[in-house]
A = this chain, B = another copy of it.
Amino acid sequence: MSYLGVGVSPGNVSGSTTKMKLIDRKVRVTELILRCLVCVLALVAAILIATDVQVREIFMIQKKAKFTDMKALVLLVVVNGIAAGYSLVQAVRCVVGLMKGRVLFSKPLAWAIFFGDQAVAYLCVAGVAAAAQSAAFAKLGEPELQWMKICNMYGKFCNQVGEGIASALFACIGMVLISCISAFGVFRLYGGSKSRPSSRW
């Protein structure tokens, strides 16, 4: 027997429940698409930066620019690796949930997913911000501190780093949207029944 609000006739109950299920399904499909996108974009970012090498001959000395020369780029590769792996696991969980027509988890797991998404989203934002700051130094230099720009010597290296940071930025935006969806997913489980007008938040 299904417990539904007093004063709600069975007729329009099944209507509103079907509508809720439709919204549920759309939200889950959106979540799945976003997670696959983040997985791909984060992977592309990590590969672009990790495989970026340029060798220059300066005063007869061979100089090699690689991503390990800058700690922020190492951080960005690690963060995007984590984001890609995490998104892959979550995408599999979404597919299984959609196929079974019922998600596999309870409130505690909804909380775990929410915290996981928040943590990865903030990690991505921090990683991209630090890498972008380093790239700005490399591109523009910092005359006040006598830090020379290097992109005039390693143009190709810097361009590929720029592409990697752009891809990481889009992965970041995807993670931020996903963390809103998982917030929606967990906090609506705490919704009082609709009939409590006085307790509007």
Contact = CB atoms under 8 A, between A and B. Distances in A.
Interface of A: 2-7, 17, 20-21, 24, 69-72, 102-103, 106, 110, 118, 121-122, 125-134, 136-138, 142, 144-148, 150, 176, 180, 183-196, 198-201
Contact of A195 (B4, B125, B144, B200): B4
Contacts of A129: 125-127, 129-130, 133
Contacts of A126: 125-126, 128-129
Given A4-B6, A145-B150, A186-B187, 11 more contacts: A3-B6, A3-B7, A5-B6, A20-B196, A20-B199, A126-B128, A133-B133, A134-B137, A137-B147, A145-B148, A186-B201
Please provide the 8 A-B residue pairs with the shortest distance between their CB atoms, ordered closest to farther.
A191-B191, A3-B195, A187-B187, A183-B183, A126-B129, A129-B129, A130-B133, A193-B193
Q: Please give the count of copies of this chain that the complex contains.
A: 2
27 contacts: A2-B196, A3-B7, A4-B193, A4-B195, A5-B5, A5-B6, A6-B6, A17-B199, A69-B145, A71-B136, A102-B198, A122-B125, A126-B128, A127-B129, A131-B133, A145-B148, A146-B148, A183-B187, A184-B190, A186-B187, A187-B188, A188-B189, A188-B192, A189-B200, A191-B191, A191-B193, A193-B195
